[in-house]
Structure formats: C-alpha cells, structure tokens
Structure 1
Amino acid sequence: MAAYFHTDMVLIILAGAVATFLTRIGGYVLITRMKSIPPRLEAALNAVPAAVLTTLVAPAFFTGGPDVQVAMAAALIASLRLSILPMLFVGWCAVMLMRYALGG
C-alpha cells in the first residue's frame, strides 16, 4: 500500500484542486461585482468553450493513429447535420470500423 501513496503526488493533486477552486470562485466573484460585463470580456468568455474543445481534441487528433483521425473527421462532418448523440455514434462507428479494417 505504501508503494501507491506518495506524499509529493498527494500535494500536487491538492495544489491543483486548490488552484482550480480559486480560479473558479475568483471568476465568479469578479463577475458578480461588476455592474455590466465589458464587451471585450464578454467576447473572451464566449471564446472559452472553443478553446477548451480545441485543447482536448487537437492532441488526440495529431498523436492518434489513422483510426482516431478518420473517426474525428467523420464526427466533425456528422456534427454539421446531426445532434450530439448521433454524431457520437457516427464517430464511434468510424473508429470501430477503422480498427477492424486495420487489424487493431
């Protein structure tokens, strides 16, 4: 059991939790104290979801194999016409078919 418990790792996890909490609560406190949100801040806040999605998808696309790349491309194309669940199903089918075809 002692081999799985490292004090350094626990401290890193706790520091990350505290930093995440302070960032979230700080943003909430900052915005609730404003009478109105400036247009530049509103534009920055509107860009956050796209930035987060990019940071999650781009590394997987560029480090994944052809199966992952084809699945992501298929899901992207499907997302232009379908809602989220059918789009996820298209991506899942594409990756499974590619893995079957490539023998992986």
Structure 2
Amino acid sequence: MISATTILTFIGMATATYCSRILGYLLLANRVLSPRARAVMDVAPGCVLISVIAPHFVSSRPEEIAALAITLLAASRLSMFPTVVIAMTSLGVLKSVFN
C-alpha cells in the first residue's frame, strides 16, 4: 500500500512542476525572450522532476529500478503530465508486487 506521505510527495512534485510552468508563463507573458532564454524556460519543469527521481538511479531495490526504467521510457515518448502519472502508478504497482 502506498503511504499518505508518498502520495503527498507526488502531489507536491506535480504541483511544483505545474506552478513553475504557469508562473513562468504569467511572469514572462509580455516579454520577448531570446531563443536561449526560451530553451531554459522550457526545461525548468523537467529539472524539478529529475531532482526528485535522480536518487533512484543509485537504488538497490528492484522495484525502484524497474519504475525508473518505465519512467525514462515514458519521458522519451510522452509529455510531462502522463510521464508523472505513469511514474507514480508504476512505482506503486511494483512496490505492491515486490513487498
């Protein structure tokens, strides 16, 4: 079973990612950005997600390694929101299977 703390952590991650995208849009809507600045703004939400999943790269738990592989595959093909949903679901399912 997934703990309430884990669910709240996932909700917090999704909120931080979404807010960084929306706040960037609201704060910079009337400004002209250079191509380099635009590229930085496009990858900022991904940085939030990576900072949360990066510790799992060194995990010794098979369910976390498998969930990470599923997440990386999803991230290479899908946008941010479906990737986060797939990551949460796969880790939850795999933890229940392995425990």
Higher RCO (Cα < 8 Å, 6 or more apart)? 2
Larger radius of gyration: 1
